């Protein structure tokens, strides 16, 4: 793809532009939004969506609709929201997002089918036998994927199944079902919607390290066994105080070689508060670094931010003393990070 080859030539320029904040010469009225800047790049620009904000905040809603061409439910497609009681499914909030996306010409990433967090109490507290749990998992995956068939184009089938050292995470699924639950989950999802692209997804797996090595080995193994796995998701929760992984492109390139798609699925770049201009520039650089790796890769198909505004970001509630992790301020003003994402797309044209 010519567009992607061009990126190689402009990476240095992109970095200079991002850091100086200068607008590239190709900017124009048709590139005023992230969505317009991304057009033709082969990479979708997405955001996680907070459904209460979407309902109550018209300014928030207008930005979701205009700036992005992909959306992910921040919470409403998780197990506790979708199947709050065994066998009783609540699609209302998730359907609202899917309808919103359709009305605005956006695709939907499904997040997530199998995880160790945000599961309903009935699932985690009742003592099921392994056979019962397997049945429950199968029913849940099949019912959920079938419900959204043709309307959700990618699913994070399993989320965060490895530890940082590359060993499998000790979860209720691994304990009851053994490591085969991962292949089973992909097979069941595929049976329910053969066209959906099915993803592994995790954090701290953006660069080459023990965790991403484990994913690479798993993807290779599952492919050789004919298990329908199509994509590798990197959440991209970064922090300016840690620096950014330098081997992200090497990592996406090895999945390219396997014929496995890649996506950045939950990008945000937090900082220790208070905000200052240096941290904001570092943040812009972090957002751009992941996007450049995606644009350089052959099969990187989307780049999603985990919320676009500090008004609703999950970060301050979870990482004490940290925040300002998204491309827009609380008052919905674009930050240098916003310009960096836009400029990086424009430079890849």
Residues near ligand XIL, by CB under 6 A: 74-75, 159, 235, 266, 314
> DSSP string of 217-278?
HHHHHHHHTT----EEEE--EEEGGG---S-HHHHHHHHHHHT-EEEEEEEEEEEESSP-HH
Residue closest to ligand XIL when measured from CB atoms: 314
**Shortest Cβ 314–ligand XIL spacing (Å):** 3
Decide if 83 is catalytic. no
Q: Of 153 and 314, which has the nearer Cβ to ligand XIL? A: 314
Q: How far is the CB of 302 from ligand XIL (least distance, A)?
A: 15
Q: What is the DSSP letter of 24?
A: P
The smaller minimum CB distance to ligand XIL, of residues 6 and 117, is found at: 117
> How does DSSP classify residue 23?
P
Q: Positive or negative CA dihedral for 307, 312, 315, 321?
A: positive
Which CB, 154 or 235, lies closer to ligand XIL?
235
Is 19 or 174 the residue whose CB approaches ligand XIL more closely? 174
Closest contact distance (angstroms) between CB of 267 and ligand XIL is 11
| Catalytic residue, candidates 74, 83, 206, 266 | 266
Residue 265 CB, nearest approach to ligand XIL (Å) = 8
Q: Which is nearer to ligand XIL, 17 or 212 (CB)?
A: 212
Q: Positive or negative CA dihedral for 52, 56, 59, 64?
A: positive
Smallest distance, Å, CB 128 to ligand XIL? Answer: 24
CA distance 206 to 204: 6
Whether residue 320 lies in the annotated active site: no
* DSSP H helices in the chain: 2-20, 34-38, 51-56, 58-67, 79-82, 92-103, 121-125, 130-147, 172-177, 181-192, 210-224, 248-258, 277-296, 315-318, 336-347
Query: How many of the other CB atoms lie within 10 Å of CB of 169?
Result: 13
Catalytic one among 160, 191, 320, 330? 160
Catalytic residues: 160, 266
């Amino acid at each position: 793809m010519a567009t992607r080859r061009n990126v190689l030539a402009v990476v240095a320029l992109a970095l200079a532009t991002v850091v100086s904040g200068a607008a590239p010469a190709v900017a124009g009225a048709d590139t005023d939004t992230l969505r317009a800047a991304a057009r033709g790049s082969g990479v979708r620009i997405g955001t996680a969506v907070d459904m209460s904000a979407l309902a109550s905040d018209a300014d928030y809603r207008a930005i979701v609709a205009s700036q992005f061409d992909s959306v992910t439910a921040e919470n409403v497609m998780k197990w506790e929201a979708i199947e709050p009681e065994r066998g009783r499914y609540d699609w209302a909030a998730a359907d609202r997002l899917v309808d919103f996306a359709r009305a605005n010409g956006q695709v939907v990433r499904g997040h997530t089918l199998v995880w160790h967090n945000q599961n309903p109490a009935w699932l985690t507290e009742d003592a099921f036998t392994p056979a019962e749990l397997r049945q429950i998992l199968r029913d849940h995956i099949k019912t959920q994927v079938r419900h959204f068939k043709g309307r959700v184009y990618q699913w994070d089938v399993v989320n965060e199944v490895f530890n940082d050292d590359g060993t499998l995470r000790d979860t209720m699924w691994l304990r009851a079902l053994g490591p085969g639950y991962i292949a089973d989950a992909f097979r069941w999802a595929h049976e329910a919607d053969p066209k959906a692209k099915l993803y592994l997804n995790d954090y701290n797996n953006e660069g080459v390290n023990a965790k991403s090595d484990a994913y690479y080995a798993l993807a290779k193994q599952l492919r050789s066994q004919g298990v329908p796995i199509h994509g590798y998701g990197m959440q991209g929760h970064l922090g300016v105080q840690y620096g950014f992984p330098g081997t992200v492109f090497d990592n996406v390139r090895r999945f390219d070689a396997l014929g496995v798609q890649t996506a950045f699925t939950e990008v945000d770049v937090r900082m220790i508060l208070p905000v200052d201009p240096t941290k904001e520039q570092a943040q812009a650089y972090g957002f751009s670094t992941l996007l450049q790796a995606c644009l350089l890769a052959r099969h990187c198909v989307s780049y999603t931010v985990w919320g676009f505004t500090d008004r609703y970001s999950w970060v301050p509630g979870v990482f004490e003393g940290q925040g300002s992790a998204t491309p827009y301020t609380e008052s919905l003003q674009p930050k240098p990070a916003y310009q960096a994402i836009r400029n990086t797309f424009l430079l890849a044209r």
